[in-house]
Every structure is written in C-alpha cells, then in structure tokens.
C-alpha cells in the first residue's frame, strides 16, 4: 500500500521548518492543508513559505471571487496524488485534513454538486436574511450557523438543495473507501505545552504586524463588497475592521478633546493587538482538542525533541505494526492528553510592546488620513 506522509501541528510549533527539511530529503513537493494558503490574498496571514515553488496549491484561488469548500479542496489534492509520488501533506487546518483523510465519496455527482453550489451562490448573492432562506429549504433548521460564515451557509444550502430539504449535511456512500483506507497514512502532530506555545504565538503575531499584515487586511477590505457574505478571512481581520471603525468614530466626534481622543485611540490599539494574540492562542488550543477527538492515528511529537525530521523519517520508513505501536504507546497518549497551564485561562491579556503598538497606531492613522 502506498504511503502518505502528513505533518501537522499547533500554530507556531515549527511544522513548516520541519516539512521543508523533509521535502528536501525526499525530493518531493508539499501540499498545504490550509484553508487560507490556497488563496492568493493572504501571504502574510497564512505564513507562506519562502520556497513556495516546492508547494502545490499555494495562492491558487482568489478569496474575493471563490470560496473553496473541503469538497473542492479534496478534489484538488486527489488529482495531485495521482500525478505525484510521495508528496507531503502539511498544515494545521484540522477540518480540511480530517475531511481529506476520512470522508467517503459523495453520493452526488460532481456535476450535481457544482450546479447546487452555483444555485446556492446565486440565492445568497442578494439575500439579506440567510437564516430565513435556509429555513425555507430545510424546515428543521435551528439558526445554528453564524450568518457571517459564508462557507458553512453555502455548504448547508448546497446540501439542502441536493437532498430536497432532507439534510444540510453531506450524505456519503458508506460502501466507498476513505483515503485512509486506500493509503498507508503516516501522520505526525507537532505539539508543545500550551504555556510555551502561547509565547511563540505572540511573537509570531508581532512579526506579522512588522511584515505588514495590517496593509494586507486593508487592501482586502478595500476590494471586498461589504454587502456580500463574508469570505474566508484570517484571525485578526474582523478585529482590524472594528479598530478602523473605532478610529473613525473618534475622528467624527465633535465634543472630545485631542488629549482624550489620543488616549482612546491608544487604548483601542492595545485592545486590538491583545485580541489578535488571544484568538491566535485559542485557535492553537482548538487544534489540540480537534486532533485528540478526530485524528487519533497520529504520532504526537514534542516540539522540544531533538532531530524531529529524523524521528519522523524513522516512523515513516518502519513497518505499519511498529508505527501503530508508537501511536498506541503511553508516551503518545501522554503528549495527546497534556493539559494547558491552569493559569492560562485566567492570565492577564498579554501586553504588546511599544514598538508593536506604534506600528499599529501609525498604520491606522495613515488609513484614516487618506
């Protein structure tokens, strides 16, 4: 059975560096399992690799024109797998990865799914009340989908159309094999204690701010039709738009002193950066929980381990029995069940440095003065 190497891990765990080493050793391309890297709009937000020439699918789509579902992503990956020997899957998008490895073939043809997608997009294009629209197609709908989540709304409407109102989730043919049945999946999840990874995440957020993530947010915002449903956007985008609105309200205020206005703007800047930190940290916590529950056949590796690429190659090249022994070992279970610091949920919001505050403040001021 053909092997498939999958390297995932927490945000900020260093999985991209490990994958680049493995890609050079194996002389094979990398397929990013990332719901943002496939769009050309987010090179900073999604941390594009420096040598992206070895990567497939990076920047393939325009997030302003296309919303790529897990179904369409899987089709792209399966096509690459047909044409490429021993590629590496890399990324931390848990849902995309789980769908790719463990979903079965849709009961509907590609043509029917495409037609239903187009119909769903047409219905949503000028819709002011998506919740009522979904209820009109699926009477048991319970308002459970956030109206700003375009991906889930479109997906639910697609299946409501395909099933004549019987379901808003995908019915699969249970007789069809999964990718994990057809290939020998060798999966690795790079982890680290939450208290450690949090500090790395804050540093990564700072670096993205230095690299110009706010300009990336702003340029996308300028091109985005605000009447449309929200397209795929990264952590921090919504908070940045809110920060601009807060600055705009201050600029339009008539009865506020310059001193008070300055103080309020500085406070808004700090709040934005803290939200950026905390939401990024929370996503790492979500990744850990999702993998524990849904992707159980992975070997977990502590990021502080020496020679991670060599360890991965050891269990990539060994027989299946040895790999499964490591998956079911006490050591692996211990890493999977590592608990975050009890202080982490109660800790004060991290205070950004003056340098980072000034970068954000100057950028938003510049935007307001345009």
**pLDDT, tens digit, 9 for 90 and up, residues 127-164:** 888 888 888 888 788 877 766 667 778 888 888 898 88
Q: Give the DSSP per-residue string, 50-99.
A: TTGGGBSSTT-B-TTT----HHHHHHHHHHHHHH-SS-EEE---HHHHHH
pLDDT band at 345 (very low <50, low <70, confident <90, very high): very low
Extract long-range pairs of 141-146: CB within 8 Å, 24+ residues apart: 141/168
> Distance (Å, rounded) from C-alpha 313 to C-alpha 307?
10
In eight-state DSSP terms, residue 177 is: P
Q: Domain limits of the chain?
A: 106-171, 198-279+351-368
Structure pTM? 0.83
Other beta carbons less than 10 A from residue 138's beta carbon = 20
CB 90 within 8 A of CB 30: yes
Tens of pLDDT, residue by residue over 217-273, are 999 988 876 545 456 789 999 999 999 999 999 888 766 788 889 999 999 999 999
Share above pLDDT 70 across residues of the chain, in percent, rounded to a whole number:
93
């Amino acid at each position: 059975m053909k092997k498939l190497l999958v390297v995932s891990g927490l945000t900020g765990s260093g999985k991209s560096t490990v994958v680049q080493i493995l890609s050079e050793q194996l002389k094979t391309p990398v397929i990013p399992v990332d719901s943002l890297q496939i769009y050309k709009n987010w090179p900073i937000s999604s941390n594009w690799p420096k040598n992206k020439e070895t990567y497939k699918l990076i920047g393939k789509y325009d997030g302003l024109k296309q919303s790529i579902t897990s179904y369409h992503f899987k089709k792209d990956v399966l096509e690459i797998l047909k044409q490429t020997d021993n590629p590496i899957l890399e990324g931390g998008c848990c849902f995309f990865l789980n769908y790719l490895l463990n979903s079965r073939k849709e009961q509907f043809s590609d043509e029917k799914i495409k037609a239903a997608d187009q119909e769903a997009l047409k219905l949503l294009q000028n819709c002011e009340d998506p919740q009522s629209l979904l209820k009109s197609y699926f009477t048991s709908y319970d308002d459970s989908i956030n109206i700003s989540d375009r991906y889930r709304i479109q997906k639910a409407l697609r299946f409501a159309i395909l099933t004549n109102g019987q379901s808003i989730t995908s019915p699969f043919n249970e007789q069809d094999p999964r990718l994990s049945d057809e290939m020998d999946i060798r999966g690795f999840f790079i982890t680290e204690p939450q208290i450690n990874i949090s500090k790395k995440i804050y540093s990564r957020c700072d670096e993205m701010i230095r690299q110009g993530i706010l300009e990336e947010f702003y340029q996308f915002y300028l091109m985005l039709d605000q009447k449309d449903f929200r397209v795929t956007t990264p952590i921090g985008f919504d908070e940045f738009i809110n920060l601009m609105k807060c600055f705009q309200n201050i600029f339009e205020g008539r009865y506020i002193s310059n001193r008070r206005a300055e103080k309020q703007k500085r406070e808004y800047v700090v709040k934005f950066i803290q939200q950026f930190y905390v939401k990024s940290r929370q996503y790492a916590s979500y990744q850990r929980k999702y993998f524990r529950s849904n992707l159980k056949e992975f070997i977990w590796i502590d990021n502080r381990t020496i020679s991670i690429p060599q360890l991965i190659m050891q269990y990539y090249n060994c027989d299946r029995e040895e790999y499964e022994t490591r998956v079911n070992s006490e050591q692996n279970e211990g890493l999977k069940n590592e608990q975050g610091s009890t202080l982490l949920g109660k800790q004060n919001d991290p205070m950004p440095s003056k340098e980072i505050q000034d970068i954000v403040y100057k950028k938003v001021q510049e935007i307001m003065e345009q």
